[in-house]
Structure 1
């Protein structure tokens, strides 16, 4: 099985290759690409591959844009994404499959087996223009929260997302911290809800288990112990803001979008 790997995150590339080598030793990752431009060039000769493993959100945009230019592609494709699991669930029973990040080995193996069966039976998945346009519409038309309703004393106030420096959780509560003023408010959403469905992933990033930051409020990045990064925001923090070590490379790609 000859595989084209489309992934711009080095750690994710390494993990995918490791899982393939462990579970399908006879398979070969023929080439790896990291951008839409490079993917388009490889799709011109899609016959060189038996399967494509493709990240959805690349540094230069959505990989769907490349596939939309090649509607007659017959190579099985497994999409990989860290975003918007709810939108993708509706396509779980189609000829495409997807794996969420962080990558679970068993889930990826099942997806690879599924794609392999399509190839072996010559019932190869077909990316038609209508499906690509539908996926693009879902991503491009998705709306995120523009403001949060919070309570301050005896009154309710609206905080626009552009005024938010970061969110954090503590003792089972989720707090919103406003930029400049550093005022904090309690909100009725968990960090998981914020990350998966309410916040624009191009603007907000979860740096560790208990904190999500706003890119526009980031002021400074410094090296921290054990390969981690320390951040300074335009709002005060009660503790050091640190990017978890396993998220450092992905975080760097995110701020360099």
Structure 2
């Protein structure tokens, strides 16, 4: 008896797909259901199903990210609500898909393909290259692995600092100052390197030597010389914005 798991963050969609599958493929056993991509990966590890039905857009991990982690442990079937251009991308990649909400006629065609694969006892495809192409075609960029912690020195002590607690980084010729709300530390990595390793949505570069946590900005003022200065919440210190980065604050 073939087995499967279903992953979709919408319960109604999970229930509807399950109901449609019972109609067109009564022999298929649905072992479990997941609400996000991370749960789907865990269910595949636990149950070792033949098939994994994965919604493309899910929290925590998308369907594409989950499929990459699942690899060749199960045949992947994507659940998608995309238009015809995206469906062509699936067809050209020979990836099985279900268009949601699940239509009995279309689902029947997908099931026939899946049955043929399982009957032939073909191994699940390694889809890593295909997944990257699909993500690019469908505008779902993989999430970069940004720094989550900074290892910094405070006197003789080495401390791990969560990046979300850091208000700003500021470099001089030798060190980079790491400023939090309660203390400062030093690291040897320059701002130009940190700029590539930190989430640009969280840390804005305002000067060639300064990165500031956008959530820590309380305002921007201009001094008598016409310079833009960033005010940091909880600090009296102001950080200069170079002309190259003034555009970041046009709407503020």
Q: TM-score of the superposition, structure 1-length normalised?
A: 0.49
Q: Which has the higher contact order (CA 8 A, sep 6+)?
A: 1
* Structure with max Cα Rg: 2
Q: TM-score of the superposition, structure 2-length normalised?
A: 0.50
